[in-house]
Amino acid sequence: MFVKEFDRFRAGLEELCAVSFSAAQALDNETGVLLRKEDSEAAAVARLATNAALDRPTGNGVGWGRCRIEISPFGVVYTTSGGLMFGWQVDSRDFQYRREVAGEEDCGTNCWTFFVQHPAGKAPAGSTLRQAAICRGWREVSRMDMEE
């Protein structure tokens, strides 16, 4: 799994989409537009939730539900029908301070942790995901490291 911290949600989302074509595809809802500049975390969640709810590739129910989303106040985990997993986590302490004290929409110093995981778990050596993540400075960690 590759992770990277950001102080602005939009910056993290844009870089996630630069690292993973599948993430970009899930977020653009086949519109060709990632998100408008004014769109927030809520807009990204809405697009991903819509994809998961409408994951009905056949008329008889076969193959439905391969795409999944888990949403909580602490972040989002989205799994594509091909098994790629991506999303973000929020550091609640810094987020709350920035909202209440500074009145800012984004949270401040590195409180958004974006992640992406290859369907095989560890991205193969020659995969485009591995190459893109390393090129952009994403750290490779185990999934257990993310849960701490």
How many CA atoms are closer than 13 Å to the CA of 38, on its beta-carbon side?
A: 0
Q: Which of 12, 49, 8, 9 is nearest to 27 (CA)?
A: 49
Counted residue by residue, the chain has a size of 148
On the question of pLDDT at 101 being above 60, the answer is: no
SS (H, E, C) 21-51: HHHHHHHHCCCCCCCCCCCCHHHHHHHHHHH
The ranges assigned to domains in the chain are: 2-147
The DSSP output letter for 123 is P
Q: What is the pLDDT of residues 2-60, one digit of tens each?
A: 999 998 888 899 999 999 999 998 888 666 666 666 567 888 999 899 888 888 777 78
